[in-house]
Amino acid sequence: MFGKPRAQTPSALKLIPRIVRFDYESVMRQNRYWHGGDPVVTHFFNALQAMFPEGERFFMDSARDVRDMLGKDNIPAELNEQIRLFIRQEAMHGREHDAWTNALISLGYIGMEGFDLKLKRDNQWSKKKLKPLWRLSMTAASEHFTASLAHLFIYKRPDLIEKAASPFRELLVYHAMEEVEHKAVCFDLFKQAKGGYFLRSAGMIFVTIDLLVRLRNRQEYLLKKDGLWNAKTQKEMRDLLWGKEGIMRVLAPYLLQYFRPDFHPWETDERRDLVAKYGQEMQVIDAQQTQVSAA
């Protein structure tokens, strides 16, 4: 009779900017296909993560610009603090994924530099040409996308983490944890700025198409560089995304939730299950954070 209460960001939510440093290059040199010996899945993650550094800089700029446009005094203190911690978390993610991409470049995948430069130019163009709220709509959609990937890792495709060699396994858990923690920050800021349903939906449509195109271009390049671009690997690429248990097919219901007018990211809470399932990785991350802090 009264309907289901609308979800909202938990009042006791804590965003923890974890500081970690991993050595990717030495592992890649010993085991180029570090995801279960599978070049297609390995290069899927190599390609996906390579978009994160520039993407996260775009996210940070979008959040800052809308926060400054509104004025901190017009934003709840709790949300202001979450924005601050969100920016810190994203800055650390960008640094680690820069290191991952630089390891790829050191191994001879020099074309990754060109992809980075193109994305940087596109981001610079958008900052000049698009209003802050438009950019924030894309950021909020991207955060839902990455949080949905974390959901996928926990409940639907744990093999995508479990077959990864260290330190890539720990990095994926670390990134997933923080994406879950801050998944609603930009969404809540978008609502605070009176962003509308049309703009929110348009952001998700654009982000999904843009991500898939850039992902395919990078993955194709990496496989071609290894001399592995053929009918077999192309089919494996399609199956990885669109097959029966394909990533995009499994993600689709969670991505489509975003188009409900009453949607909120905290309709699900993956934090506890993520820690329970990958407690060993979280211990490694905690130890890594302590070592970095001591240094």
Looking at the domain assignment, is residue 83 inside a domain?
yes
pLDDT at 241: 97
Q: Mean pLDDT of all residues in the chain?
A: 94
Looking at the domain assignment, is residue 285 inside a domain?
no
Count of domains for the chain: 1
pLDDT at 139: 98
Q: Is 82:13 a contact under the CB 8 Å cutoff? A: yes
pLDDT at 282: 81
Taking 60 as the threshold, does the pLDDT of residue 171 lie above it? yes
Going by the DSSP 8-state scheme, the letter that residue 182 receives in this structure is T
pLDDT at 272: 85
Q: Is 130:66 a contact under the CB 8 Å cutoff? A: no
Going by the DSSP 8-state scheme, the letter that residue 35 receives in this structure is B
Q: Is 136:190 a contact under the CB 8 Å cutoff? A: yes
Looking at the domain assignment, is residue 9 inside a domain?
no
Domain of 137, in residue numbers: 36-144+180-259
Please give the radius of gyration of the chain, using alpha carbons only, rounded to the nearest integer. Answer: 19
> Whole-model pTM?
0.94
Taking 90 as the threshold, does the pLDDT of residue 286 lie above it? no
Q: Identify the three-state secondary structure at position 150.
A: helix
Q: Considering only residues 4 and 10, tell me which one the structure prediction assigns the higher pLDDT.
A: 10
Looking at the domain assignment, is residue 167 inside a domain?
no
Bridge partner residues of 35 (DSSP)? 164
pLDDT at 288: 77
* pLDDT tens sequence across 10-29: 877 889 999 899 999 999 99
For residue 131, what are the CA distances in angstroms to 110, 135, 138, 166, 222? 34, 7, 11, 41, 34
Looking at the domain assignment, is residue 169 inside a domain?
no
pLDDT at 28: 97
Phi-psi region of 137 (alpha: psi -120 to 50; beta: other; left: phi over 0): alpha
Residue 111: HSE in the Cβ half-sphere, 13 Å Cα cutoff: 12
Q: Is 40:240 a contact under the CB 8 Å cutoff? A: yes
Distance CA 74, CA 85 (A): 18
* pLDDT tens sequence across 213-271: 999 999 999 999 999 999 999 999 999 999 999 999 999 999 999 999 999 999 999 98
* pLDDT tens sequence across 63-85: 999 999 999 999 999 999 999 99
Tokens of 68: 């400054």
Distance CA 107, CA 104 (A): 5
pLDDT at 2: 39
* pLDDT tens sequence across 176-216: 999 999 999 999 999 999 999 999 999 999 999 999 999 99
Q: Considering only residues 287 and 169, tell me which one the structure prediction assigns the higher pLDDT.
A: 169
Looking at the domain assignment, is residue 267 inside a domain?
no
* pLDDT tens sequence across 92-148: 999 999 999 999 999 999 999 999 999 999 999 999 999 999 999 999 999 999 999
Distance CA 51, CA 94 (A): 9
Q: Considering only residues 292 and 94, tell me which one the structure prediction assigns the higher pLDDT.
A: 94
Looking at the domain assignment, is residue 10 inside a domain?
no
Q: What percent of the chain has pLDDT above 70?
A: 97
Number of DSSP helices (H) and strands (E) in the chain, helices first: 14, 0
Residue type for 187, please? F
pLDDT at 192: 97
pLDDT at 121: 97
pLDDT band of 3, cuts 50, 70, 90: very low
Section 145-162 average pLDDT = 95
Q: Identify the three-state secondary structure at position 164.
A: strand
pLDDT at 5: 52
How far is residue 253 CA from its own chain's centroid? 18
11 contact partners, CB below 8 Å, separation of at least 6 = 78
Distance CA 278, CA 173 (A): 7
Which residues in 1-23 are b (16+ Cβ under 10 Å) and which e?
A: eeeeeeeebeeebebebbbbebe
Give the sign of the dihedral formed by CA 265, CA 270, CA 271, CA 274: negative
Looking at the domain assignment, is residue 15 inside a domain?
no
